[in-house]
Every structure is written in structure tokens, then in C-alpha cells.
Structure 1
Amino acid sequence: MPSRSRGVALIVLGLCFIRGGKAFPGFWAILPTLGAFFCIAAGPSGVLNRYVLASRPMVWVGLISYPLYLWHWPLLSYARIIEGDLPSEGMRALMLAIAFVLAWLTYRFAERHARRSENPAVTAALTAVMVGFVLLGLLATTRYYVGRHSDPYFVKTAAAAKDWAYPDGLNPIKVDGEVVMQIGHGKRRVLLFGDSHIEQYGPRAVELSKTSPDTLDSLSFATWGACPPIPNVVDEGNSVCAERRDGGMRLAVSDKFDAVVFGGCWNCYFTETGKPDAKTAKADRYYFFDGKNKHRFMGGGGVDMALAMLETVLTNLAKHKQVYLVLDHPTSNGFGPEEFVKGGRLGDMTVGRMSPTAPWDAKQKALHERMRQIAERSGAIVIDPIPTLCDKDWCRRADADATPIYKDAGHLRAGYVRKFATFMDPAMTSVPAAAPR
């Protein structure tokens, strides 16, 4: 690819990272790809190529394009590590600006000299550095080199943070045009509908497929992260939520399924009902749309409307098929292992030992009872993880040896779910028919 074509492609790619970083790689990645294609197709006589891309600034970007490619990703990744979430647009723009500076320095003082040099020592040095990085990667992969994380307990905590197995072991299929993740071949057809708090129970379904395949129902997961399975609920931060939710609802009311399991991070959506402040403003993204007006969950009465809609949906469905409502487990920073990591970003890191239990938030406890009452009034079957996890006002967050049972502040880890989430079994299994005598 000509350097100027690479240059314009990288500029567009950078803008995609700033504007659409959450979705990359996805729709936004089409822009730099098509941009480079049309630049090449136009040839050197094209108006854009001849007068714009042939200009000195664009040619300069093309010249530094490869080191820019090498620098931008580590910087953006490091910004995410520092902030603990998707960096702000300003931070991403700053990282790209730094990437341009470092790319120019790399091109000016390293790449140009390496390309023009005929000294065999340069080739040998570059080869040695490359081999060194390969060896370092192998040592890190085999855990002979563990870096600056000097506390052995860090390995246990890091393993918990990575212990997410959905959709491993499940198969994507289409049902009436909707993609679901499927497992099991039982006679009863069950739709598990919700967000990542339904996805987290996928490993339990996979475990049952190995240990009790004859009792496992035909399970289909229709889920989307941070997307409540309730009609008319809008998430301003997730443009795909409404489409996925409406598709799931069509499946739920169809004759394709004999039972529907509703679940979600109810604590995430419904515990904060007051007006947003500096602390909760970031979470103020949900509202209920009644056809005319938006009723925000925070300070706008949207929570009551959303829960009333959920009860209506459960009531109507329960007249025709089995319906389950999965109540939420405790969620907060006190349950996530990441909270216990101590130390500076550039120094040694240690991890505080997690005590086995943490208090159950009063708001979450009140919501739990409210959700239970909604299920009972509507005729839905209650699936409650609390008896497994909690004793009165205290709930488990780690085993006796301080091994975390949560992946993060909001999700149970896959290893725990496989063994102990037996409360989900009634919604996933049926007693097989007795063999004829």
C-alpha cells in the first residue's frame, strides 16, 4: 500500500478509536478499510490522491504509519488499564497524539537508520532484540516470569478475574432469525433471556451437559450485556440493546419455547432511584419510554414503570408457559477481587486477603424482596441464589482459603458457577420419563 494511502487509513482509524472505541473492531473498522481501498483504486491521477494525499502532511503521516501502528495500541491499552474502564475521548485523543510523537521519533532515529544501514551488526542487534522478546513472552506464558506482581496471592486473584466462560461449550444457532447460544437436547425447550447475569450461568449448563445429559433440557441463551429484558426500557449507552431485547421478547412469546427464564443485574438497574449526583451520574443511562415521555430510572419514576412492565410480561407469559424469574445476587465493589489489589501502577503490587463474607447492601436486600413479590404475584417460579450465598445480612465473596468466588464486582466466576449454582438446575433440567416396563 502506498505510504500516503496508509496515512489516510491510519488517520481515519484513529478517529474511529476516539469515537467508536467501545465497538471496535466492528462497524467503524469499515471506514479505514474502505478509505484505503478507494485510494488505491483511484490511482495516482485521482483528484484526492493527487492534491490531498500527495501533500506533504499526508505523505509524512504515511512515512510514520508503521511505527504509528506499533505505538497506538499499547498506549490505548495502557490508558484503559490506568482508568479501569473505557478511557474518555479526551484521554484517547491524548494517547493518539503521543503515539504520533513517538512514531515520528521512531521513524526519524530508528527506522530510517535501520533501513539504510549496511552494517551487519544492526541486523544482528535487531534479531537479538526480536528473539529476546519471543523468549520473554514464552517465559511469561509458562509463568517462569511473573513480572512485578510480587504477591503470590495475586495469581489467585488474577485467575478469578479471568474466570469467565460464556459462551464456551454453547453453539450459536438461529431461531426465527434471532441468534441464540444453544446446548442440550431435552424435550422441554427453555429460553434463558437477559443480560450478563444470565450469561454467567452458561458454565452450569455446560457442566450439566457433562454430568447429567439425560436430564438437561434444550437450552437457548438470548442475552446482551447490560440490557434489561424488559420492553420499553432504553439504555442510552447501548444502541444495540433495544434490537436484541425485542428479538428476545419475540422468542419468549412464541411457540418455539415451553419455558422462559428472565434474569438480569437488577441491582445495577433498580437500586438507585434518586436524582443523579457526581457519584452516580455515570450510571444514569436508563429510562422507561411510555410512548410519549422518557421516565429516567434516577429521579424520574422510571424504575416503578419498568418493574410494573416486567410484572405484566411475566403475568401474561405465565398463563401459557412456565416462567422463571432469577433474583439477583449481591453486587458491589466489596465483592470484586479487583478492589483488593494494592500498590502503584509502576511498583510492586500486592493483594489484600479477602475475608469470606461481606455485608448485603440494604437497598439490594429490599429490591430482592420486591422482585420476589413480583414473581409470586405474576405466577413466575422464583430462582433465588441468596440461600446459597448469604446468611441473613452477610454474603459470601470468597472461600475459606480466601479464593474469590466472584469474577468482578458484579459477576460470579465460572468455576464457582459450575459447582455450586445448583439453584439454576430446576430451570435447566427435567426428570426424564421412566422407561416402559
Structure 2
Amino acid sequence: MSHPNPHLAYRADIDGLRAVAVLSVVIFHAFPAALPGGFVGVDIFFVISGYLISSIIIKALGRGEFSFADFYARRVRRIFPALLLVVSVCLAAGWGTLFPDEYAQLARHSVAGLGFVANFMFWREAGYFDTEAELKPLLHLWSLGIEEQFYIVWPALAVLAWRMRHRLGGILLALAAASLVASVALSAQFPVASYFLPPTRVWELLFGAALAWRLQRYGTIFPAASAWAPSVASVAGLSLIACGLVVIDKERAFPGAWALLPVGGAVLLIAAGPRAAVNRILLSARPVVWLGLISFPLYLWHWPLLSFTRIVHPERATPAVLVAALAAALVLSWATFRWVEQPVRRRGGRRTVAGLVLASVLLAVAGWNIHLRDGLEIRLKDAQAQQASAALRWEERWLESSDCRHLLPANFSGNCLIGDASRPPDAVIIGDSHANHFFWGISEALGRNGGNLLQINEDGCLLLDGMDTRERSGESRGCAPVAQAAFAYAAGAPQVDTIFLAGRWVLGITARQLKDKPGVFSRMHRKPVLLAAPDDPAVGRGEVIATALDDTLRQLTATGKRIVFLDSVPELDFNARECVHWTPNRFVSRIPRPECEVPRAVIEARNEEYRPYLRRVLEKYPQVIVFDPQTAMCDDRACLGRRDGELMYRDDDHLSMAGSRWLGARIVRALPAAPNGDPRPGS
């Protein structure tokens, strides 16, 4: 017997739409260049989820049978079996494959994922020092957090609206419109927050919910006489999704208005109904439906497999290996669906639900214990591996402190650190995150001679006079006020006799990292602009930085203080964790890059991309002391990531604490006398 409303019966075409969504995400994660907009598959999932779950809620409300207990029990049976399995396997695999900092991070992410707040954690973590996405095996759980947060609030709101004389439709549209407006308005200015947080994402689920409300109230969207309209809508929907997959990429302000492509396409395909052309012919095809049926476990499995592959053997992550990882994900997904999901959903009662909840709590406790114990460093039996893996850490307390805030304006928005908070500084280092990685080594070396170093920095900002930095959206990053406060203090404090300028000059001028592929511009970088001519297209990046550096040095040298310019450290074209040797078991051997170096010829070619701009300015100020880290960190053959048995880096361009101390001591030893005649600052 056919269902009186075909939209409320089981629809194979919606499973087919799930297949489109998951396949898009999987291809993007494995081969991002092949499908640059593949990540919008998550937005399609949001629409489907909003539609299906809201259909259940609205249908139950209409019969007067809605139960919160039943609703959340269904969610537990649907989500927890596969989620618990995947998180458990990831923690078990991490024990024998991940370094302590990686394992502690995985454990922290597992707790956030099990608590459905992973999106908030990844939002807080995102930034200049954030670990690369491919090193986070549970990164994909952010989307599950969005969905479950929605379903914590939505049922109660739906019940309340239903009791208000069935005003559910109006409330749905108002909330969806407000969220969409917020998404469009904020995605460019606050891209990370807009991507991860519910207020700018919930409209996608609400579009699905509004469609569910409309179909359950009126039965259809299209006039009964227009037999061709659903098929036209299905073609239009598939076209919008296809356009989104090709046109959207990670450089767009997303979600925002761009998300209307996949969201609108998904809405049209669901609204078209199972008899529409695309839905009937393509989305209801057996192989497509099968893929849709395993889409949830496939979404959960595929990313950890790709991530662990890239973590443990980055040099072996060839297309063939990645395809093999995806094949394994398919097998695991089918097995999870067949032997884990289906039995629980069919026969799971209250005891099963309680057991799943208890298991998730126990697993979260285990994960938190791993996090609190810093990733269980005892797993590394090799002393050298322990020492090298420790070099990969850079703790939050090493970034900033409140002990030096009183030296700066009350509204100061940057970061500061001071070697000895009990006395005023006699040296200041100003810059971006590279000022921070220089600070610790220079501060310790100066401290041994009685000096005291103050750091003033802002991550991602080359701090120069008369220059600001803009986000990709065109919004100011707020670097200029930090620079003004820094130079005002350094120039005006009479006890300060030495000023260090530090920065990742090479990235600021070239807009790419050494590890980037040719033609790819670093997504983390922003555009430097002159405050006097912020919108002059004729002034390129190098000219902007050269002009601002000239103005800065002219003013600083006029103070009579000793000015030290610290050039960029040589970049690696790989992550420093690839230099750590560890063979935890007979199945895993993390020794992918024993040489841990970059050919000198590569570094010299890189120097020619940015140093001419700096050289032209520095030659005008012979009194400025220029220190080139490459003189210490490179020999005639290569620039070395490891010196004197110590790992110099913690990623591809930031020094480790050991590297900071090693290089900082050499910087201080190379300094000539200060203007007051002291052989060392503070001595």
C-alpha cells in the first residue's frame, strides 16, 4: 500500500542525496584539487538532517504523540554506536602511532566529539599556531556537534511553537532568515567563527525543517497540474549542487551566500519528490542508495584513515595509498552499518540506550585522562624520541602573560611577555609569532648578563610603523594599533637601549610558504597595506613592507638606541615532526625523513623572492644590526632542522624551545656594544 503523502514515506532518493553529500566530502578530503568545493557536502547533510528529523517531530506533534524521551533515545541509537566505535579505534590506534602532543590532542578532541562540542573546540583552536587539519583525525566531528546542538534546542522550540496555535512555520522562517543574514554578514569578517558556530550554520538545518513543515502541512510544493515542475526542480537542484562543488573553494567567505548553492540544491531535490526525473533515475539507483545507507559510518571512518595515513607516513601518502585508505573506509563502513548500526536500531531498548550513554561517558573519561597526562609520554621508550617529540610542543603559557600588561596602554590588544616581571625591561623585541619564538632564547641569554627582555607581538602581524594587515575579506586584522603601542613604548622608555625587530618577512612578501605547492597562496596569510594608501593597487606586497620598514627604521634609529633586525629563519618544506624517529611496534615506523634538512640551493632561491626588498632598505641604515639566522642554521650544502642533536623546529617555520635557546644564544653573542658602551644589553 502506497503512503498517502510520498514525502513522508521512506525515500530512496534521499539516501541517494546522502551519497552525493558523502562522496563530495570524501573526494575533497582525499584529493582536494579534484573537487575544490567538496566540503559543501556537509551543508547538504545539514539540510537532509533538518528535513528528516523535523518531519519526525512535526508528524508526532500532529498526532499528539511527541515524547522528548523517545526522540533523544532515537538519536542515541542513531549516532552513538558508530561514533563510539570510531572514537575507540582512533584512541587505540593513536596509542601505537602518535607522539605525545598528537595523542593528547586526539584525546582532547575525542572528549569534545563525544560531548558534541567539537565545533567550539576547533573554533577556539583555529589560528596562526593551529595544527594542520590533516593532523587532526577527529576534525570532522565538528559537523556532528552542530547537528546535535540543534537537536538539543529545536524539539523544545518546536513544541512551544506548536502550542502557540501552530505558529511553527512563521518561527521557522524568522529563525532561518536571521541565521542566514548573520552568516552572510559575518562569514567574511569572522570566517572561522562563522564556519564552526551554530548561529551562522543553523539556517541550513532550518531550511530542511521548513521544507518538512511545508510538505507535512500542504502535502506538496508544486501545483498538481504541473507534472513537469518537480523534474525541473530536481534538475535545477542538482545543477546548483554541481555548481557549488566546482565554483566554491576554501578561499571563499563560507558559508555566507555561497552556501545557498548546495543548500538550495538540496532543498529543491528533496522538495521535488521521489518521482522527479533526477531523483527517480539517478538518486534512486541501487549503488547510489547503498552508498547513502552507509554514508554516516563512511563519513566517520574516512577522515581518520586519511589523517593517520598522512601523519604516520606523509611521504608515502600517494594517490594509490589514499585510494586504498578510502577502500578500507568503505569496507569498515559497510561492516559498521551491517553489524553495529542495524542491530542497535532494530532491537535497542532502554537498556541499550543507557549502555551507550554510559559507554560514551567512560570513553570520554579515558580520553580526558590521556589529555591530562600529556599524551602518555611513557609510551616512548626511546629517550631521543622523547626529547624530540617534546620539542614539538609550544604551550599557551609561552605565548603571552599578564605580568607585562601594566607597561602598555589599557586597551592594548596584542601579546606581551617579560623575562623578569620584578624590574623594567632594557630590551624589547617587536613582531609577529616569530618574535615569540625568538623571545625565549634571547631572553635567557640576556638574562645571564643581567638583561631583561620584553616581547610585544601579535600573531600573523608584521608590526611596522604606518602599516596594517587586512584579512582576505578586506577587514583590518588590528595590527596597526599594536604596532603603534609597541614603538611608542620602545622609543619612549629611557631604560630600553636595544630594540629587536622580528617577523616572518618571507611570508609577508611572497604570500606563500615554502611547503606550498607552486601557484598556491597560503590561506593563513593576509595582505599588508599602507595606512596612507590602503587601496592603492599599484603598490605590491614587497613595496608595502619595504616602505613601512623604511619609515620604522628612520624613526627608531633617530632615538639613538641599538636596533637589531632579525631576518626570517630558513623554512622547511615539511613539518618538523617528520624528523622524529620512533618505531613503536613492528607495524608502524615513523622514520620518514631521517635527513631533516632542506637543500641550500632551495633556500637561496627562496631568499631571492623576498630579500631584495629588505636589502634595499637595510642598506640605508648601516647602524642597524642585521642578524641572518641562516648563517648559524645552514652549511654550504643544506639548512638543517636538527643541530647538535636538538630538533630546531616545532613545525615548518617556528623554532622549538630548544631551537630558540640554541639560536638565541648565538644572536646575543653576535651583538656589538650598546650605544651606552655596554658590551651586552643590560650587562
More strand by share: 1
> Structure 1 residue 264 and structure 2 residue 512: aligned?
no
Q: Which residue of 1 aligns with 2:482?
A: 247
The change in CA–CA distance for 1:76 and 1:407 in structure 2 (over 3 A counts) is: same
- Contact 1:356/1:400, CA 8 A, preserved across alignment: no
**What is the correspondence of 1:125-274 to structure 2 with a 5 Å cutoff?**
130=362, 134=366, 141-143=375-377, 158-160=389-391, 162-165=392-395, 167-168=397-398, 170-172=400-402, 173=405, 175-176=408-409, 177-179=411-413, 180-183=415-418, 184-185=420-421, 186-204=423-441, 207-208=444-445, 212=448, 214-217=450-453, 219-225=454-460, 227-230=461-464, 231-232=466-467, 234-237=469-472, 242-254=477-489, 257=493, 258=496, 260-271=499-510
> Structure 1 residue 310 and structure 2 residue 549: aligned?
yes
> Per-residue deviation at 1:372?
5.0
SS in 1 for 2:643: coil
> Per-residue deviation at 1:38?
10
Q: Which residue of 2 aligns with 1:362?
A: 604
Alpha-carbon distance between aligned partners in 2 of 1:357 and 1:293, rounded to the nearest angstrom? 40
Alpha-carbon distance between aligned partners in 1 of 2:477 and 2:386, rounded to the nearest angstrom? 39
2:630 to 386, 389, 412: 386
2:160 to 36, 44, 62: 44
Give the % identical residues. Answer: 13
> Per-residue deviation at 1:271?
4.8
- Contact 1:203/1:417, CA 8 A, preserved across alignment: yes
Q: Which residue of 2 aligns with 1:408?
A: 651
Deviations 1:19-41 (A, max 9, x none): 999469xxxx99x9899779968
> Per-residue deviation at 1:112?
8.4
SS in 1 for 2:521: helix
1:350 to 586, 590, 595: 590
> Per-residue deviation at 1:200?
0.9
Alpha-carbon distance between aligned partners in 1 of 2:598 and 2:386, rounded to the nearest angstrom? 22
SS in 1 for 2:398: coil
Give the aligned residue type for 2:573: N
Give the aligned residue type for 2:652: A
Deviations 1:371-418 (A, max 9, x none): 3553342343323323322334633321355x5322222122112212
Give the aligned residue type for 2:505: W
Alpha-carbon distance between aligned partners in 2 of 1:128 and 1:43, rounded to the nearest angstrom? 28
Q: TM-score, normalised by structure 1?
A: 0.62
SS in 2 for 1:242: coil
> Per-residue deviation at 1:141?
4.2
- Contact 1:204/1:417, CA 8 A, preserved across alignment: yes
Q: Which residue of 1 aligns with 2:564?
A: 324
Alpha-carbon distance between aligned partners in 1 of 2:582 and 2:117, rounded to the nearest angstrom? 35
> Per-residue deviation at 1:124?
11
The change in CA–CA distance for 1:353 and 1:181 in structure 2 (over 3 A counts) is: same
> Per-residue deviation at 1:153?
7.3
The change in CA–CA distance for 1:21 and 1:424 in structure 2 (over 3 A counts) is: closer
SS in 2 for 1:283: coil
SS in 2 for 1:201: helix
> Per-residue deviation at 1:326?
0.9
Alpha-carbon distance between aligned partners in 2 of 1:140 and 1:384, rounded to the nearest angstrom? 35
Alpha-carbon distance between aligned partners in 1 of 2:579 and 2:636, rounded to the nearest angstrom? 24
The change in CA–CA distance for 1:260 and 1:240 in structure 2 (over 3 A counts) is: farther
Alpha-carbon distance between aligned partners in 2 of 1:118 and 1:288, rounded to the nearest angstrom? 57
> Per-residue deviation at 1:189?
5.0
- Contact 1:357/1:396, CA 8 A, preserved across alignment: yes
Deviations 1:282-323 (A, max 9, x none): 238554543442357xxxx43134213212221123212533
Alpha-carbon distance between aligned partners in 2 of 1:417 and 1:132, rounded to the nearest angstrom? 36
The change in CA–CA distance for 1:164 and 1:142 in structure 2 (over 3 A counts) is: closer
> Per-residue deviation at 1:178?
0.9
Give the aligned residue type for 2:569: H
The change in CA–CA distance for 1:16 and 1:205 in structure 2 (over 3 A counts) is: same
Give the aligned residue type for 1:171: S
**What is the correspondence of 1:273-288 to structure 2 with a 5 Å cutoff?**
279-283=518-522, 286-288=526-528
> Per-residue deviation at 1:242?
3.1
Alpha-carbon distance between aligned partners in 2 of 1:144 and 1:20, rounded to the nearest angstrom? 29
> Structure 1 residue 117 and structure 2 residue 351: aligned?
yes
Give the aligned residue type for 1:262: L
> Per-residue deviation at 1:79?
6.8
Give the aligned residue type for 1:280: G
The change in CA–CA distance for 1:279 and 1:390 in structure 2 (over 3 A counts) is: closer
> Per-residue deviation at 1:239?
7.1
> Per-residue deviation at 1:333?
1.0
The change in CA–CA distance for 1:170 and 1:340 in structure 2 (over 3 A counts) is: closer
> Per-residue deviation at 1:331?
0.8
1:418 to 661, 668, 671: 661
- Contact 1:200/1:412, CA 8 A, preserved across alignment: yes
> Per-residue deviation at 1:268?
2.0
Alpha-carbon distance between aligned partners in 2 of 1:113 and 1:16, rounded to the nearest angstrom? 34
Structure 2 gap segments, 5+ residues each: 1-67, 76-112, 131-144, 173-205, 214-296, 315-329, 675-679
Structure 1 gap segments, 5+ residues each: 59-69, 86-97, 433-437
Deviations 1:123-166 (A, max 9, x none): 599669947983996699445657xxx99976665444x23246
Q: TM-score, normalised by structure 2?
A: 0.43
Q: Which residue of 1 aligns with 2:133?
A: none
Alpha-carbon distance between aligned partners in 1 of 2:527 and 2:399, rounded to the nearest angstrom? 35
The change in CA–CA distance for 1:352 and 1:74 in structure 2 (over 3 A counts) is: closer
